[in-house]
Amino acid sequence: MRIEGSGAIVVGGASGLGAATARSLHEHGAPVTIADVNAEKGEALAAELGEGARFAQCDVREAEQVEAAVAGAAEAVDGGLRISVCCAGVGWPEKIASSRGPHRLEPFEIVLGINLVGTFNVLRFAAHAMLAAEPLESGERGVCVNTASAAAFDGQVGQVAYSASKGAIVGMTLPAARDLADKGVRVVTIAPGTFDTPLLAALPQEKRDALAAGIPFPRRLGRPDEFAALALHIVSNQVLNGETIRLDGALRMPPR
């Protein structure tokens, strides 16, 4: 799919992987809606990017807010919505059981609510909006890119909630792609490893160096722009569909 001129939405687009993807889409000529729960950061990024960028406040757990953000993105450009990227996500470290008791239910539900239900909300509303678009010459109507994690496959100690949420995103990728195949809408998931995001920026340099040392090659943290480059390639490469792509430098996460 041609990126230039194609309407796009990046959910969780105010920072980290999402912000890098929104920037890259905008640089390549896509009118982009930055949807995020953080209005201050989202509005600042949209203002920085300028013409062709807009912000929509959106909590992915709230179906009405997601639907409105997607509808706004579809209405913002001739041809409707063609590209959806969901990067919204959170983590919560807690063991399934310890001397302090069993894993609390509330944080588990919050993580699944944002990471899994949120991704599902974005996917279902974005895909439905794409069905309204006229198919391109190739028959394609749009592409939805989800974000999982290496933790979907190699969950570490204390990652029960996070791994469950990301594993479920991987699990719904193929059936969603099959559901939408006859309509010309593709679904692909990226499973990033350890990336240099605002979350990791808060760690001491010693800890950051230790994380980087565990990556076979390149022996460094991934850069958000590298995630964005893969997202844009997925959009451009029509044969990529129904697949989860690990983006992790051959990292296989140890138990701890």
Alpha carbon of residue 192 to chain centroid: 10
For residue 209, count other CB atoms closer than 10 A to its CB. 13
- Are residues 32 and 49 in contact, defined by beta-carbon separation less than 8 angstroms? yes
Angle between helices 63-75 and 118-131 (to 10 degrees): 30
Catalytic position from the list 108, 120, 125, 162: 162
How far is the C-alpha of 125 from the C-alpha of 71, rounded, in Å?
A: 8
CA–CA gap between residue 176 and residue 120 (Å, rounded): 10
Torsion of CA 59, 150, 32, 29, to 10 degrees: 180
Residue 162 is a catalytic residue: yes
| Three-state secondary structure call for residue 144 | strand
Q: Return the C-alpha torsion angle 43, 75, 243, 21, nearest 10.
A: -30
The two tokens of residue 200 are: 């990791």
Task: Give catalytic residues, as residue numbers.
Answer: 162
